[in-house]
Amino acid sequence: MNTQNQTTQERRDSAPQGSNDILAARNVTKRFGPHLVLDNVSLSIERGKTTVVIGPSGCGKTVLIKHLIVLLRPTSGEVYFNDSRIDNLSEQDLNEVRTRFGFLFQGGALFDSLSVFENIVFPIRQHNRVKDWSHVEDIVKSKLAMVGLDGFQNYYPANLSGGQRKRVALARAIALNPEVLLYDEPTTGLDPIRSDVINELVLKLQRELGVTTVVVTHDMTSAYKIADRIIMLHNGKIVADGDADHIRNHPHPVVQQFINGQVGEDDLAILRMTGTASQTQFLPRDFEA
Amino acid sequence: MFEVLGARAIDDIGNIGQFGRFCWQTTAACLRGCWNHKTYPLVWAQMHIIGVRSVPVIMITGAFVGMTLAVQAYDQLKAMGFEERLGVLINISVVKELGPVLAAVMLAGRVGGALTAELGTMNVTEQIDAVRSIGTDPIWYLVAPRVMACLLLTPFLIIYADLLGILGGFFVGVKQLGINNWAYWSFSASGVELWDVVVGIIKGLFFGGAIAVISCYKGFTCKEGAQGVGQACTEAFVSSFISILVLDFVLAVMFKAIYNTFWPFRSLVG
């Protein structure tokens, strides 16, 4: 049953782009020098749904999500947004496309020199989205209220905690009412409660704004909670694609290892090779003159 | 060995190409920025940081250059009986060479280092990517205002350095070493022409542009981590310093050729 389910689910990768797909990557390969990060990856993102990309650290998740907004250009392959190819556009043309995206960076990437208010106003001001500037304070207030941080307008990023920074960054990401929200490791570095706050926010924004959401994470609790669809990336390739149940029951050993948080035989072999505890620990004699 | 040299040469050519592209994008962004009213407040803010805050250090540099020149040259000139010509020696050195070059070197250290560190930190914390993800050109938003501020204000800072250099030389030469006041200024006036002052100021435009573009480029391309930012700052200063010296030589040759085309040779000692 699993195999059949896998076949059905993974056929979506190679299926032609439908009208309900807002984003698509076709045969995307990315190399940094000799290092192959994405290996012929194809996927499409369904409009209005939450797609979560999981995978171990260094497997190419962040590189993949940056390709979807063309912050990185593929070595080969194509990226589509609303059926139009975007990876070959000039930076100037891309600027217009990017206003339809919101991107939450791993560390928030708030502008240090600007206050919370100025950070959220930044995209609005850059794109002249407000006709009556007297309303801009209300707009910022509503964006901050949406992430539960109304009243923090005059704070600077340095005065905020990690979770607050991510929420302000989220408020900035939704400032232009985007169609697609991309989250790069939204819960990394946060305690379980703050992580759940972010998960609830992801769900809330998806529900209330109706945005298409793509989340990159290695936090399985978060993935199961927010995902309509989960894609697993391993060594630059998609190894699993389906809903939470499909991933839970996936026969691929790498998927099972990852979702259960088990160390693989390869990693164990490396640990064994580094020597025993007595060989690797310092002893008092090592410090004697 | 050939393999290593070849790989390095290819790497260097790639970097030169990348820098050339960055310069082109910066020039285009500056020209676009001239007609975009949103650029003006950004340039204004950078003018305050780059220009106004550099005034004290530039003035100190200029003053000490003038004073040191006076101390060093006085004995030699006195031995030849030319001590009253100390003014012309100091003033022409300051306005034509030492004022612009040393002011630019100070700026490369003070402003260039700060620009690289700021943009480098923004780079490694993904703030530059954040600007792009918002649909704003980071070269227009971050680089163009800094380059424009440097281009506009370096010539003014050089005027400050020149003024203080002249005053420093006067203070030591006339007030400390006892050279006749009238002779000091009269020889200076006959030896230093408006052309010399203008040449120094025009050099400032080139120096300012070079410092800003190199520093911003190093910030934009710096490697990850604190070490990456530190290394980028060092490289920015060294590259800026070398380009100031190279530009100074090239501009000296060019301006001398232009001068000789229109005006006859003049001796400062005759």
**pLDDT band per the 50, 70, 90 thresholds, residue A11:** very low
Residue A22 placed within a domain: yes
* Within a domain: A197: no
- A123 close contact with B: CB closer than 8 A: yes
Q: Give chain A's domain count.
A: 1
pLDDT at A6 (0 to 100): 42
Q: Is pLDDT above 90 for B246?
A: yes
Q: Which residues pair with A78 in a beta bridge?
A: A26
Contact of B46 with B148, CB cutoff 8 Å: yes
| Least-confidence region, from A7-11, A285-289, B160-164 | A7-11
Residue A111 falls inside a structural domain: no
Residue B246 burial (10 A CB sphere; 0-12, 13-18, 19+): exposed
Listed range (A64-78, A252-266, B233-247, B249-263) with the worst mean pLDDT: A252-266
Distances in Å between the alpha carbon of A272 and those of A56, A265, A275, A277, B177? 21, 10, 6, 10, 79
Span of A110-114, A285-289, B38-42 with lowest mean pLDDT: A285-289
| CA gyration radius, chain A | 21
Pair of tokens at residue A137 = 């304070």
State which amino acid sits at residue A40: N
Residue-averaged pLDDT of chain A:
85
Residues from B contacting A (CB-CB < 8 Å) are: 38, 121-122, 125-127, 129-130, 132-137, 141
CA distance A123 to chain B (A): 6
Q: What's the pLDDT tens digit per position in B62-108?
A: 999 999 999 988 888 888 888 888 888 899 999 988 999 999 999 99
pLDDT tens column, B173-231: 888 888 888 888 888 888 888 888 999 999 999 999 999 999 999 999 998 888 899 99
CB A185 within 8 A of CB A217: yes
Contact between chains at B126 and A99 (C-beta distance less than 8 A): no
Spatial separation of the C-alpha atoms in residues B220 and A168, rounded to whole Å: 25
Any domain includes A31: yes
Give Cα A79 distance to the centre of its chain.
17
Q: What is residue B162's predicted lDDT score, i.e. its pLDDT? A: 92
Q: Which two structure tokens, joined as six digits, stand for B18?
A: 């990348």
Query: A181 to chain B nearest CA, in Å?
Result: 11
Tell me the CATH number at A72: 3.40.50.300
A92 touches chain B (CB under 8 A): yes
Select from B121, B129, B137 the Cβ nearest to the Cβ of A105. Answer: B129
Testing the interface with A: which of B126, B141, B146 to mutate, by most A Cβ within 10 A? B126
For residue range A153-209, list pLDDT tens digits in order. Answer: 999 999 998 889 988 999 999 998 899 999 999 888 888 888 888 899 889 888 888
- Rounded mean pLDDT, A137-155: 89
Q: Which chain A residue lies closest to B136 (C-alpha atoms)?
A: A95
Q: Does A262 touch chain B (CB under 8 A)?
A: no
CA distances A16 to A46, A222, A248, Å, are 13, 30, 27
As a three-state string, the secondary structure of chain A is CHHHHHHHHHHHHHCCCCCCEEEEEEEEEEEECCEEEEEEEEEEEECCCEEEEECCCCCCHHHHHHHHCCCCCCCEEEEEECCEECCCCCHHHHHHHHCCEEEECCCCCCCCCCCHHHHHHHHHHHCCCCCCHHHHHHHHHHHHHHCCCCCCCCCCHHHCCHHHHHHHHHHHHCCCCCCEEEEECCCCCCCHHHHHHHHHHHHHHHHHHCCEEEEEECCHHHHHHHCCEEEEEECCEEEEEECHHHHHCCCCHHHHHHHHCCCCHHHHHHHHHCCCHHHHCCCHHHHCC
pLDDT at A12: 42
All residues of chain B having their beta carbon less than 8 Å from the beta carbon of residue A96 are 135
In the numeric block, the tokens 């985007």 are attached to A178
How many CB atoms lie under 10 A from the CB of residue B260? 10
Q: Please indicate, yes or no, if residue A154 is contained in any of the structural domains.
A: no
Choose, out of B24, B118, B133, B224, the residue to mutate when testing the contact with A (most A CBs < 10 Å): B133
Contact B168, B64 (CB under 8 A): yes
Predicted local distance difference test score (pLDDT) of residue B189: 85
Contact B232, B222 (CB under 8 A): yes
Verify whether the Cβ–Cβ distance A111 to B127 is below 8 Å: yes
- How many separate helices (H) and strands (E) can be counted in chain B? 12, 0
Specify if A280 maps to a domain. Answer: yes
Cα(A89)–Cα(A70) distance, rounded to whole angstroms?
Answer: 9
Whether residue A66 and residue B129 make contact (CB cut-off 8 A), yes or no, is yes
Residue of B179, B178, B199, B198 lying closest to B188 (CA atoms): B179
Identify whether the C-beta of residue A53 lies closer than 8 Å to the C-beta of residue A61.
yes
Mutant choice from B134, B142, B146, B223 vs A, greatest count of A C-beta within 10 A: B134
Return the number of other C-beta atoms located less than 10 Å from residue A56's C-beta. Answer: 16
The interface predicted TM-score (ipTM) is 0.83
Instruction: Provide the domain limits for residue A76.
Output: 2-97+212-287
Residue A192 or A270, more confident: A192
Q: Do A110 and B127 touch (CB under 8 A)?
A: yes
Residue A120 lies in a domain: no
Question: Cα angle vertex B237, ends B232, B243, to 5°?
Answer: 120
Chain position carrying tokens 């439908």: A18
B134·A98 Cβ contact <8 A: yes
| Spatial distance between the Cα atoms of B39 and A126, rounded to a whole number of angstroms | 11
For strand A76-81 and strand A21-32, is the pairing parallel, antiparallel, or unpaired? antiparallel
Q: Note whether B228 and B234 are within 8 A (CB).
A: no
CA distance B162 to chain A (A): 34
Which residue of B lies nearest to A94 if distances are taken between CA atoms? B135
Q: Which chain B residues contact residue A109 at CB under 8 A? A: 125-127, 129-130
How many Cβ pairs closer than 8 A exist between chain A and B? Answer: 58
CB-based contact, A89 to chain B, within 8 Å: no
Chain B partners of A172 at a C-beta cutoff of 8 Å?
134
Give the three-state DSSP class for B72.
Answer: helix
Q: Is residue A50 part of a domain?
A: yes
